[in-house]
Amino acid sequence: MRLWDTIRMAAIGLATHRSRSLLTILGIVIGIGAIIVVVALGESGKQLIVGEIQNMGPKNVFIVPGREPTDVGGAGSTLFTDSLRESDLRDLEEKANVPNAVSVTPIVFGNITSIFENESYMGLIMGSTPDLVRLFDLTLATGDFFPDESVRQKEEVVVIGKKVADELFPTQDPVGQKIKIKNKNYRVVGVLAQKGQGSFVNFDETVIAPYTIVQQYILGIKHFQRMVVEVDEEVNIANASRDIETLLRNNHDIDDPTKDDFFIMTQDDIVERIGTVTNIMTILLSAVAAISLIVGGVGIMNIMLVSVMERTREIGLRKALGATNRDILQQFLSEAIILTFSGGVIGLIIGVAIGITISLLIKYMFGIAFTFIFPVGGAIAGLAVSTIVGFVFGIFPARKAAQKSPMEALRYE
Protein backbone atom coordinates (compact mmCIF):
# COMPACT_ATOMS: atom_id res chain seq x y z
CA MET A 1 0.00 0.00 0.00
CA ARG A 2 1.27 3.43 -0.91
CA LEU A 3 2.19 5.82 1.90
CA TRP A 4 -0.35 8.39 0.71
CA ASP A 5 -3.16 5.83 0.92
CA THR A 6 -2.03 4.93 4.43
CA ILE A 7 -2.09 8.58 5.52
CA ARG A 8 -5.51 9.09 3.89
CA MET A 9 -6.97 6.10 5.73
CA ALA A 10 -5.43 7.33 8.99
CA ALA A 11 -7.04 10.74 8.49
CA ILE A 12 -10.42 9.13 7.77
CA GLY A 13 -10.08 7.06 10.94
CA LEU A 14 -9.38 10.16 13.02
CA ALA A 15 -12.20 12.14 11.40
CA THR A 16 -14.63 9.41 12.41
CA HIS A 17 -13.92 10.20 16.07
CA ARG A 18 -13.48 14.00 15.99
CA SER A 19 -14.33 14.68 19.63
CA ARG A 20 -11.99 12.00 20.89
CA SER A 21 -9.23 13.23 18.59
CA LEU A 22 -9.57 16.82 19.83
CA LEU A 23 -9.52 15.78 23.48
CA THR A 24 -6.54 13.52 22.81
CA ILE A 25 -4.37 16.32 21.44
CA LEU A 26 -5.27 18.81 24.19
CA GLY A 27 -2.01 18.21 26.06
CA ILE A 28 -0.02 18.74 22.87
CA VAL A 29 -1.91 21.96 22.11
CA ILE A 30 -1.25 23.32 25.61
CA GLY A 31 2.41 22.30 25.55
CA ILE A 32 3.23 23.77 22.14
CA GLY A 33 1.14 26.89 22.82
CA ALA A 34 2.92 27.50 26.12
CA ILE A 35 6.34 27.04 24.55
CA ILE A 36 5.53 29.49 21.75
CA VAL A 37 4.27 32.10 24.24
CA VAL A 38 7.32 31.72 26.50
CA VAL A 39 9.86 31.84 23.66
CA ALA A 40 8.14 34.73 21.86
CA LEU A 41 7.66 36.92 24.94
CA GLY A 42 11.18 36.12 26.15
CA GLU A 43 12.67 37.22 22.83
CA SER A 44 10.40 40.28 22.68
CA GLY A 45 11.40 41.33 26.20
CA LYS A 46 15.05 40.78 25.41
CA GLN A 47 14.86 42.95 22.29
CA LEU A 48 13.06 45.69 24.25
CA ILE A 49 15.76 45.88 26.91
CA VAL A 50 18.63 45.55 24.44
CA GLY A 51 17.08 48.27 22.28
CA GLU A 52 16.86 50.68 25.20
CA ILE A 53 20.47 50.00 26.18
CA GLN A 54 21.62 50.54 22.61
CA ASN A 55 19.67 53.81 22.46
CA MET A 56 21.80 55.05 25.35
CA GLY A 57 24.78 54.75 23.01
CA PRO A 58 27.70 52.35 22.76
CA LYS A 59 30.16 54.83 24.30
CA ASN A 60 28.95 54.52 27.91
CA VAL A 61 30.70 52.71 30.75
CA PHE A 62 28.47 51.85 33.72
CA ILE A 63 29.98 51.75 37.21
CA VAL A 64 28.00 49.81 39.81
CA PRO A 65 28.87 49.66 43.53
CA GLY A 66 29.41 46.38 45.34
CA ARG A 67 30.65 42.96 44.29
CA GLU A 68 29.65 41.76 40.87
CA PRO A 69 26.56 39.53 41.42
CA THR A 70 26.86 35.93 40.32
CA ASP A 71 23.12 35.48 39.88
CA VAL A 72 20.03 37.51 39.00
CA GLY A 73 18.89 37.84 42.62
CA GLY A 74 22.19 39.40 43.67
CA ALA A 75 21.72 42.49 41.53
CA GLY A 76 19.47 44.19 44.10
CA SER A 77 22.22 44.18 46.74
CA THR A 78 24.18 46.78 44.74
CA LEU A 79 21.57 49.41 45.62
CA PHE A 80 22.62 49.34 49.28
CA THR A 81 26.39 49.39 48.80
CA ASP A 82 28.07 52.72 49.57
CA SER A 83 31.42 52.24 47.84
CA LEU A 84 30.99 54.99 45.21
CA ARG A 85 31.59 58.37 46.81
CA GLU A 86 31.84 62.07 45.92
CA SER A 87 35.65 61.80 45.89
CA ASP A 88 35.38 59.10 43.22
CA LEU A 89 33.19 61.38 41.12
CA ARG A 90 35.64 64.27 41.37
CA ASP A 91 38.60 62.06 40.45
CA LEU A 92 36.76 60.53 37.50
CA GLU A 93 35.99 64.03 36.23
CA GLU A 94 39.71 64.86 36.20
CA LYS A 95 40.79 64.57 32.56
CA ALA A 96 44.25 63.30 33.52
CA ASN A 97 42.80 60.29 35.35
CA VAL A 98 40.52 59.08 32.54
CA PRO A 99 41.73 60.84 29.36
CA ASN A 100 39.03 59.32 27.16
CA ALA A 101 36.12 60.37 29.41
CA VAL A 102 33.79 63.05 28.07
CA SER A 103 31.39 63.23 31.03
CA VAL A 104 30.57 61.45 34.28
CA THR A 105 26.91 61.18 35.31
CA PRO A 106 26.20 60.18 38.93
CA ILE A 107 22.79 58.69 39.74
CA VAL A 108 20.91 58.16 43.01
CA PHE A 109 17.30 57.09 43.32
CA GLY A 110 14.57 56.00 45.71
CA ASN A 111 10.82 56.12 46.29
CA ILE A 112 9.12 59.27 47.57
CA THR A 113 5.71 60.93 47.87
CA SER A 114 5.28 64.32 46.19
CA ILE A 115 2.54 66.64 47.48
CA PHE A 116 0.85 69.70 45.98
CA GLU A 117 -2.05 71.16 47.94
CA ASN A 118 -4.54 68.28 48.30
CA GLU A 119 -2.92 66.07 45.66
CA SER A 120 -0.16 63.52 46.24
CA TYR A 121 1.78 61.10 44.07
CA MET A 122 4.08 58.25 45.06
CA GLY A 123 6.83 57.52 42.58
CA LEU A 124 10.55 57.50 41.88
CA ILE A 125 12.93 60.30 42.79
CA MET A 126 16.12 60.40 40.74
CA GLY A 127 19.07 62.60 41.58
CA SER A 128 21.59 63.38 38.86
CA THR A 129 23.01 66.12 36.65
CA PRO A 130 21.84 67.71 33.37
CA ASP A 131 23.81 65.00 31.53
CA LEU A 132 20.90 62.69 32.35
CA VAL A 133 18.97 64.31 29.48
CA ARG A 134 21.49 63.11 26.91
CA LEU A 135 22.02 59.76 28.59
CA PHE A 136 18.35 58.74 28.47
CA ASP A 137 17.37 60.85 25.45
CA LEU A 138 14.88 62.93 27.45
CA THR A 139 12.89 65.84 26.04
CA LEU A 140 10.87 68.48 27.86
CA ALA A 141 7.26 69.38 27.17
CA THR A 142 7.44 72.67 29.08
CA GLY A 143 10.06 74.55 31.04
CA ASP A 144 13.75 73.71 31.22
CA PHE A 145 16.04 71.17 32.82
CA PHE A 146 17.97 72.48 35.80
CA PRO A 147 21.57 73.56 34.98
CA ASP A 148 24.87 72.41 36.52
CA GLU A 149 24.78 75.50 38.72
CA SER A 150 21.68 74.11 40.47
CA VAL A 151 23.63 70.96 41.29
CA ARG A 152 26.56 72.90 42.73
CA GLN A 153 24.37 75.33 44.68
CA LYS A 154 22.01 72.59 45.91
CA GLU A 155 19.02 74.48 44.59
CA GLU A 156 15.63 73.07 45.53
CA VAL A 157 14.37 72.54 42.00
CA VAL A 158 12.83 69.54 40.24
CA VAL A 159 11.81 68.33 36.81
CA ILE A 160 8.74 66.10 36.88
CA GLY A 161 7.41 63.40 34.57
CA LYS A 162 4.21 63.67 32.55
CA LYS A 163 2.14 61.43 34.82
CA VAL A 164 3.37 63.20 37.96
CA ALA A 165 2.35 66.51 36.40
CA ASP A 166 -1.10 65.20 35.43
CA GLU A 167 -1.74 63.83 38.93
CA LEU A 168 -0.49 66.82 40.91
CA PHE A 169 -1.56 69.59 38.52
CA PRO A 170 -4.68 68.43 36.66
CA THR A 171 -5.78 71.99 35.85
CA GLN A 172 -2.65 74.12 36.30
CA ASP A 173 0.68 74.70 34.61
CA PRO A 174 3.21 72.94 36.87
CA VAL A 175 6.17 75.14 35.93
CA GLY A 176 6.83 77.62 38.72
CA GLN A 177 4.69 75.76 41.26
CA LYS A 178 6.21 74.18 44.36
CA ILE A 179 5.75 70.58 45.45
CA LYS A 180 6.53 69.24 48.90
CA ILE A 181 8.85 66.27 49.40
CA LYS A 182 9.74 65.28 52.95
CA ASN A 183 8.54 68.61 54.35
CA LYS A 184 10.64 70.71 51.97
CA ASN A 185 9.35 72.72 49.02
CA TYR A 186 10.84 72.20 45.57
CA ARG A 187 10.13 74.47 42.63
CA VAL A 188 9.10 72.76 39.39
CA VAL A 189 11.29 74.09 36.56
CA GLY A 190 10.30 71.65 33.83
CA VAL A 191 7.97 68.85 32.76
CA LEU A 192 9.25 65.91 30.71
CA ALA A 193 7.51 64.98 27.49
CA GLN A 194 5.67 61.67 27.69
CA LYS A 195 8.16 58.84 27.26
CA GLY A 196 6.39 55.76 28.55
CA GLN A 197 7.70 52.80 30.48
CA GLY A 198 11.19 51.75 29.55
CA SER A 199 12.90 48.57 30.64
CA PHE A 200 14.69 50.47 33.43
CA VAL A 201 12.81 53.63 34.38
CA ASN A 202 9.36 55.03 33.74
CA PHE A 203 10.27 58.69 33.48
CA ASP A 204 6.58 59.63 33.26
CA GLU A 205 6.35 58.66 36.95
CA THR A 206 9.68 60.15 38.02
CA VAL A 207 10.77 63.33 39.79
CA ILE A 208 14.31 64.43 38.88
CA ALA A 209 16.36 66.76 41.08
CA PRO A 210 20.03 67.71 41.53
CA TYR A 211 21.79 64.72 43.09
CA THR A 212 23.24 66.97 45.80
CA ILE A 213 19.74 67.76 47.06
CA VAL A 214 18.49 64.18 46.76
CA GLN A 215 21.47 62.80 48.66
CA GLN A 216 21.38 65.28 51.52
CA TYR A 217 17.72 66.09 52.08
CA ILE A 218 15.64 63.34 50.51
CA LEU A 219 17.49 60.02 50.73
CA GLY A 220 19.99 60.91 53.45
CA ILE A 221 22.92 59.15 51.80
CA LYS A 222 26.44 60.17 50.77
CA HIS A 223 27.10 57.58 48.07
CA PHE A 224 26.00 56.99 44.49
CA GLN A 225 24.01 54.00 43.31
CA ARG A 226 25.26 54.26 39.74
CA MET A 227 27.77 56.24 37.68
CA VAL A 228 27.87 56.45 33.90
CA VAL A 229 31.05 57.54 32.13
CA GLU A 230 30.68 58.64 28.52
CA VAL A 231 33.78 57.90 26.42
CA ASP A 232 34.92 59.97 23.43
CA GLU A 233 35.09 57.05 20.97
CA GLU A 234 33.72 53.51 21.06
CA VAL A 235 37.18 52.09 20.31
CA ASN A 236 38.43 53.64 23.56
CA ILE A 237 35.93 51.80 25.79
CA ALA A 238 38.50 49.21 26.89
CA ASN A 239 41.15 51.84 27.72
CA ALA A 240 38.65 53.95 29.66
CA SER A 241 37.43 50.89 31.59
CA ARG A 242 41.00 50.06 32.63
CA ASP A 243 41.64 53.65 33.70
CA ILE A 244 38.44 53.66 35.77
CA GLU A 245 39.34 50.36 37.44
CA THR A 246 42.84 51.59 38.28
CA LEU A 247 41.54 54.87 39.71
CA LEU A 248 38.82 53.31 41.86
CA ARG A 249 41.13 50.59 43.18
CA ASN A 250 43.64 53.23 44.20
CA ASN A 251 40.90 55.31 45.84
CA HIS A 252 39.53 52.32 47.72
CA ASP A 253 42.95 50.84 48.66
CA ILE A 254 42.28 47.61 46.77
CA ASP A 255 45.28 45.51 45.71
CA ASP A 256 43.45 42.27 44.93
CA PRO A 257 40.98 42.60 42.00
CA THR A 258 38.89 39.79 43.48
CA LYS A 259 38.09 42.14 46.37
CA ASP A 260 36.75 44.96 44.21
CA ASP A 261 33.84 46.83 45.82
CA PHE A 262 32.59 47.95 42.41
CA PHE A 263 32.24 46.51 38.93
CA ILE A 264 32.18 47.95 35.45
CA MET A 265 29.86 47.11 32.58
CA THR A 266 29.87 48.22 28.98
CA GLN A 267 26.95 48.06 26.59
CA ASP A 268 28.19 44.72 25.24
CA ASP A 269 28.49 43.32 28.78
CA ILE A 270 24.91 44.29 29.61
CA VAL A 271 23.53 42.91 26.35
CA GLU A 272 25.40 39.65 26.92
CA ARG A 273 24.09 39.34 30.49
CA ILE A 274 20.54 40.06 29.42
CA GLY A 275 20.82 37.48 26.65
CA THR A 276 22.13 34.87 29.07
CA VAL A 277 19.42 35.53 31.66
CA THR A 278 16.55 35.54 29.15
CA ASN A 279 17.86 32.39 27.46
CA ILE A 280 18.09 30.55 30.78
CA MET A 281 14.60 31.68 31.80
CA THR A 282 13.21 30.69 28.40
CA ILE A 283 14.78 27.23 28.62
CA LEU A 284 13.50 26.66 32.16
CA LEU A 285 9.96 27.79 31.37
CA SER A 286 9.94 25.83 28.12
CA ALA A 287 11.04 22.74 30.03
CA VAL A 288 8.06 23.18 32.36
CA ALA A 289 5.75 23.61 29.36
CA ALA A 290 7.27 20.50 27.77
CA ILE A 291 5.78 18.43 30.59
CA SER A 292 2.42 18.98 28.89
CA LEU A 293 3.86 17.36 25.77
CA ILE A 294 4.84 14.26 27.73
CA VAL A 295 1.44 14.12 29.38
CA GLY A 296 -0.16 14.58 25.96
CA GLY A 297 2.00 11.82 24.53
CA VAL A 298 0.95 9.39 27.25
CA GLY A 299 -2.68 10.33 26.62
CA ILE A 300 -2.29 9.66 22.91
CA MET A 301 -0.74 6.26 23.60
CA ASN A 302 -3.63 5.30 25.89
CA ILE A 303 -6.29 6.46 23.43
CA MET A 304 -4.53 4.69 20.57
CA LEU A 305 -4.49 1.45 22.59
CA VAL A 306 -8.23 1.83 23.18
CA SER A 307 -8.69 2.53 19.48
CA VAL A 308 -6.77 -0.64 18.58
CA MET A 309 -9.08 -2.68 20.81
CA GLU A 310 -12.22 -1.08 19.36
CA ARG A 311 -11.06 -1.60 15.79
CA THR A 312 -9.87 -5.18 16.15
CA ARG A 313 -12.41 -6.49 13.62
CA GLU A 314 -11.41 -3.73 11.18
CA ILE A 315 -7.78 -4.83 11.53
CA GLY A 316 -8.73 -8.47 10.94
CA LEU A 317 -10.81 -7.56 7.88
CA ARG A 318 -8.02 -5.48 6.36
CA LYS A 319 -5.53 -8.29 6.90
CA ALA A 320 -7.94 -10.80 5.36
CA LEU A 321 -8.15 -8.54 2.30
CA GLY A 322 -4.36 -8.52 1.94
CA ALA A 323 -3.05 -5.77 4.24
CA THR A 324 0.34 -6.59 5.71
CA ASN A 325 1.62 -6.00 9.23
CA ARG A 326 3.60 -3.08 7.80
CA ASP A 327 0.41 -1.52 6.38
CA ILE A 328 -1.37 -1.75 9.74
CA LEU A 329 1.69 -0.41 11.57
CA GLN A 330 1.95 2.54 9.18
CA GLN A 331 -1.76 3.35 9.46
CA PHE A 332 -1.88 3.53 13.25
CA LEU A 333 1.50 5.24 13.48
CA SER A 334 0.31 7.79 10.91
CA GLU A 335 -2.80 8.42 13.02
CA ALA A 336 -0.65 9.16 16.08
CA ILE A 337 1.68 11.48 14.13
CA ILE A 338 -1.22 13.29 12.44
CA LEU A 339 -2.80 13.80 15.85
CA THR A 340 0.30 15.29 17.44
CA PHE A 341 1.27 17.36 14.39
CA SER A 342 -2.27 18.77 14.23
CA GLY A 343 -2.04 19.54 17.94
CA GLY A 344 1.26 21.29 17.29
CA VAL A 345 -0.26 23.44 14.53
CA ILE A 346 -3.26 24.36 16.69
CA GLY A 347 -0.97 25.07 19.66
CA LEU A 348 1.22 27.24 17.43
CA ILE A 349 -1.76 29.30 16.27
CA ILE A 350 -3.14 29.67 19.80
CA GLY A 351 0.32 30.49 21.19
CA VAL A 352 0.84 33.24 18.61
CA ALA A 353 -2.63 34.65 19.30
CA ILE A 354 -1.99 34.69 23.07
CA GLY A 355 1.47 36.20 22.57
CA ILE A 356 0.12 39.01 20.39
CA THR A 357 -2.69 39.66 22.89
CA ILE A 358 -0.27 39.87 25.82
CA SER A 359 2.02 42.18 23.84
CA LEU A 360 -0.87 44.52 23.06
CA LEU A 361 -2.01 44.50 26.70
CA ILE A 362 1.51 45.39 27.87
CA LYS A 363 1.71 48.14 25.27
CA TYR A 364 -1.62 49.79 26.04
CA MET A 365 -1.83 49.18 29.79
CA PHE A 366 1.75 50.10 30.69
CA GLY A 367 2.80 52.27 27.74
CA ILE A 368 5.74 50.00 26.91
CA ALA A 369 6.77 49.70 23.27
CA PHE A 370 6.53 45.91 23.48
CA THR A 371 6.57 44.30 20.04
CA PHE A 372 5.63 40.65 19.52
CA ILE A 373 8.43 38.76 17.77
CA PHE A 374 7.35 35.55 16.04
CA PRO A 375 9.76 32.79 17.11
CA VAL A 376 10.53 31.09 13.79
CA GLY A 377 13.02 28.70 15.37
CA GLY A 378 10.65 27.95 18.25
CA ALA A 379 7.77 27.26 15.85
CA ILE A 380 9.83 24.85 13.74
CA ALA A 381 11.20 23.14 16.85
CA GLY A 382 7.70 22.89 18.36
CA LEU A 383 6.23 21.22 15.28
CA ALA A 384 9.23 18.89 15.04
CA VAL A 385 8.90 17.92 18.71
CA SER A 386 5.16 17.32 18.39
CA THR A 387 5.82 15.00 15.44
CA ILE A 388 8.48 13.12 17.39
CA VAL A 389 6.08 12.77 20.34
CA GLY A 390 3.53 11.21 17.98
CA PHE A 391 6.08 8.74 16.70
CA VAL A 392 7.49 7.80 20.12
CA PHE A 393 4.14 7.36 21.85
CA GLY A 394 2.39 5.94 18.79
CA ILE A 395 4.82 3.16 17.96
CA PHE A 396 3.68 0.84 20.77
CA PRO A 397 -0.07 0.92 19.93
CA ALA A 398 0.78 0.62 16.23
CA ARG A 399 2.87 -2.49 16.83
CA LYS A 400 0.10 -3.98 18.98
CA ALA A 401 -2.30 -3.46 16.08
CA ALA A 402 0.10 -4.91 13.51
CA GLN A 403 0.74 -8.05 15.56
CA LYS A 404 -2.91 -9.07 15.82
CA SER A 405 -3.80 -12.37 14.17
CA PRO A 406 -6.38 -11.89 11.38
CA MET A 407 -8.35 -15.01 12.45
CA GLU A 408 -8.58 -13.91 16.09
CA ALA A 409 -9.33 -10.36 15.05
CA LEU A 410 -12.27 -11.42 12.87
CA ARG A 411 -13.73 -13.46 15.76
CA TYR A 412 -13.43 -10.46 18.13
CA GLU A 413 -16.79 -9.11 19.30
CA distance 131 to 151: 11
In-domain check, residue 118: yes
CA atoms in the 13 A half-sphere facing the CB of 143: 22
**Statement to judge: residues 207 and 312 lie in one domain:** no
| 6 pLDDT more than 50 | no
Mark whether 301 and 372 lie in a shared domain: yes
Are residues 276 and 406 both part of a single domain? yes
Q: Per-residue pLDDT averaged across 360-378, rounded?
A: 81
| CB of 369 closer than 8 Å to CB of 48 | yes
What mean pLDDT value characterizes the chain?
Answer: 84
Q: Which of 229, 252, 285 is the last residue of a domain?
A: 229
**Does residue 259 lie in a domain region?**
no
Please indicate, yes or no, whether the overall pTM of this predicted structure exceeds 0.75. no
Q: Summarize pLDDT for 259-280 with one digit per residue, the tens.
A: 888 999 888 887 787 778 788 8
Q: Based on the structure, what is the number of domains in the chain?
A: 2
Q: Which domain holds residue 285?
A: 3-52+272-411
DSSP 273-295: HHHHHHHHHHHHHHHHHHHHHHH
Last residue of a domain, which of 176, 198, 229?
229
Do both 203 and 119 map to the same domain?
yes
* Residues 194 and 298 grouped into a single domain: no
Q: What is the pLDDT of residues 327-345, one digit of tens each?
A: 888 888 888 888 888 888 9
* Same domain, residue pair 225 and 281: no
User: Does one domain contain both 41 and 134?
Assistant: no
Q: Does a structural domain hold residue 168?
A: yes
In a domain, 264, yes or no: no
Residue 75 lies in a domain: no
- Residue 223 shares a structural domain with residue 307: no
407 Cβ neighbours under 8 A, 6+ residues apart: 316
Quick one: pLDDT band at residue 3, thresholds 50, 70, 90? very low
Short-list 256, 259, 268, 212, CA closest to 62: 268
303 located within any domain: yes
Q: Examine the pLDDT at 2 and tell me if it is beyond 60.
A: no
State mean pLDDT over 290-317. Answer: 80
Among 198, 229, 260, which residue terminates a domain?
A: 229
- Structural domain contains residue 266: no
Burial 153-182 (b: 16+ CB within 10 A, else e): eebbbbbbbbbbbebbbeeeebbebebebe
Q: What's the confidence (pLDDT) of residue 4?
A: 52
Whether 83 is covered by a domain: the verdict is: no
Q: What is the pLDDT of residue 210?
A: 97
Given a contact cutoff of 8 angstroms between Cβ atoms, the answer to whether 67 and 403 are in contact is no
157 and 223 housed in the same domain: yes
The pLDDT score that the predictor gives to residue 1 is 45
- pLDDT tens, residue by residue, 172-223: 999 999 999 998 999 999 999 988 765 568 899 999 999 999 999 999 999 9
Lowest mean pLDDT among 10-24, 77-91, 135-149, 163-177: 10-24
Asked if residue 138 and residue 193 are part of one domain, the reply reads yes
Of 150-154, 235-239, 370-374, the range with the lowest mean pLDDT is 370-374
Quick one: 149 and 32 in the same domain?
Answer: no
pLDDT tens digits for 126-162? 999 999 998 888 999 999 999 999 999 999 999 999 9
